[in-house]
């Protein structure tokens, strides 16, 4: 079974938006020090399945425990904003 990856434009037309998350985590050897990690992907609001999948991965695989997560979501294009242009007019 072959799965096809959607292009960024196809994802945006299906309702995906760019999600940027800033993860604050504690350094394992220095628990009083917070560090940050910035992560970006296309995700679906309001459930954010990709973001929560990444947070679960972090909690299970990364030694630095999460302190907090701050994120933003921006739809870059909506289905009504895109149209197929089949011609071009040139003015001299």
The confidence score (pLDDT) of residue 89 equals: 61
The confidence score (pLDDT) of residue 11 equals: 86
Give the start-end residues of each E strand in 44-82: 66-74
Q: How far is the C-alpha of 20 from the C-alpha of 76, rounded, in Å?
A: 13
Parse the chain into domains and list their residue ranges.
Answer: 8-76
- Does the pLDDT value for residue 16 go beyond 70? yes
Share the mean pLDDT of the chain: 85
Mean pLDDT of 1-25: 84
- Does the pLDDT value for residue 46 go beyond 70? yes
- Does the pLDDT value for residue 78 go beyond 80? no
């Amino acid at each position: 079974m072959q799965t096809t990856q959607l292009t960024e434009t196809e994802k945006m037309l299906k309702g995906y938006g760019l999600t940027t998350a800033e993860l604050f985590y504690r350094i394992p050897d220095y628990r009083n020090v917070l560090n940050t990690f910035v992560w970006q992907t296309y995700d679906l609001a309001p459930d954010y399945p990709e973001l929560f999948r990444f947070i679960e991965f972090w909690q299970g695989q990364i030694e630095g425990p999460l302190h907090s997560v701050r994120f933003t979501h921006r739809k870059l294009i909506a289905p009504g904003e895109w149209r197929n242009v089949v011609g071009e007019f040139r003015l001299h």
